[in-house]
Structure 1
């Protein structure tokens, strides 16, 4: 059962969770309201963690949505003048382009020889580097459903719709426990408690990341080898589409 906002506020008060003032910002694809507030960036990830921990009681999934002045660009897919996002490919196609057994073998050999898999990467959440960030609450059974519920268009120039992101996030949740933290206008971030730890899984997942979001390599770290040595060892995964 999903708590109403007054019930949610009461629960947060009882747990000493500082819920900000909320307003109805949009209507999700399932007809439920999307609520939004504003918090200091330095407090954003801590509040996200607290609200995520309460999700099983509340039914509301928290999302950090970046600059409050730009919230409309995050929720643009829910405007009445927008239809559903592009159909896009199916999940296996999104994650499989270029992910051949030979490519995995070659990258895994590089990882085994050059990458310290015991190194623990840090947490990098965009919101904590911002003065203020929007916080959205979306009625969702799980975080990976949120891009579809928001018809998120942050990668529409790559022909990816919210439903496509939901499928990708679901497989990463099932494999690595990944949970959605951030949806900005063109940024998606995941908290990953069980990151890959073997050369083969690091290699395959790095190639999947490149297939899903080529800009993080082509306009970012420069190679899938660099991606395997950085993002794949971190506790958060960052995706960005130009």
Structure 2
């Protein structure tokens, strides 16, 4: 059972909070505004406390976007299912031939000892919204919020939950940001071999084609950039 918000505030100073929504499991979702430059530090502190508090912090973008983040909790958008609509989503692009071809490029072209930094969109915002969700883990948050940011690709909250659970299990990825159409993850165990980097890159393409088709332009660029960074970014048009 999660501690109360008052108990949490005794552990870490929080901004003024309001009950912004009710999650799909009936628990309250709290939200408050913070300065963008302070947002990631606050997220990190609350993430470290999560096992003790039961509250998962998520950065939900600029304050006027919060309604779009939580729109899936409105009665008209009640989740029709709590199971993934496409349980084989990640395997669609991850074929042996595709992994082999991309791994060969990675081995020939990339220095895997070089790693990128961490990008968190809130740091570029004057004000951002901190949401607190009662969740066993960060990967459960999109399902608890019935997040609709990738509805154009027919992905439901359970799809995101399954993919983010996979990324957490294999790469130590934690959910940081959930904006109207953006997910950001902090990655603790980046892929370290050509084969694992190629596999993860193809998984990213299967999960979020727009980061290639409307973003970096190629799998090679995705492998050279985002996949070697300390954070991963997903955006759906």
TM-score range, shorter chain: over 0.9
State which of 178, 193, 196 in structure 2 corresponds to 1:183: 178
Alignment deviations for residues 188-225 of structure 1 (CA, whole Å, 9 cap, x no partner): 01000101010000001101100100000000000011
Counterpart of 1:4 in structure 2 is 4
State which of 113, 121, 125 in structure 2 corresponds to 1:126: 121
1:78-89 to 2 correspondences below 5 Å: 78-84=73-79, 89=85
Cα separation, 2, equivalents of 1:135 and 1:98: 34
Counterpart of 1:15 in structure 2 is none
Cα separation, 2, equivalents of 1:207 and 1:5: 40
1:24 is aligned to 2:29 = no
Counterpart of 2:86 in structure 1 is 90
Secondary structure at 2:76's aligned position in 1? coil
| Offset of residue 116 of structure 1 | 1.3
1:233 is aligned to 2:235 = no
Secondary structure at 1:137's aligned position in 2? strand
Secondary structure at 1:138's aligned position in 2? strand
Secondary structure at 2:165's aligned position in 1? helix
Conserved? CA contact 2:84–2:162, under 8 Å: no
| Offset of residue 89 of structure 1 | 3.2
Deviates more, 1:48-57 or 1:76-85: 76-85
Unpaired stretches in structure 2, ≥5 consecutive residues: none
Cα separation, 2, equivalents of 1:221 and 1:162: 26
| Offset of residue 85 of structure 1 | 5.5
State which of 204, 208, 214 in structure 1 corresponds to 2:209: 214
Conserved? CA contact 1:74–1:184, under 8 Å: yes
1:1-242 to 2 correspondences below 5 Å: 1-12=1-12, 18-84=13-79, 89-91=85-87, 93-242=88-237
Q: Which runs of 4+ in 1 moved over 6 A?
A: none
TM-score using structure 1 length: 0.95
Alignment deviations for residues 145-200 of structure 1 (CA, whole Å, 9 cap, x no partner): 00000000000000000110000010111111110000000000100010101000
Conserved? CA contact 1:221–1:227, under 8 Å: yes
Unpaired stretches in structure 1, ≥5 consecutive residues: 13-17
| Offset of residue 98 of structure 1 | 2.2
Cα separation, 2, equivalents of 1:45 and 1:27: 24
Conserved? CA contact 1:85–1:151, under 8 Å: no
Cα separation, 2, equivalents of 1:154 and 1:94: 17
Conserved? CA contact 2:183–2:233, under 8 Å: yes
Cα separation, 2, equivalents of 1:211 and 1:188: 15
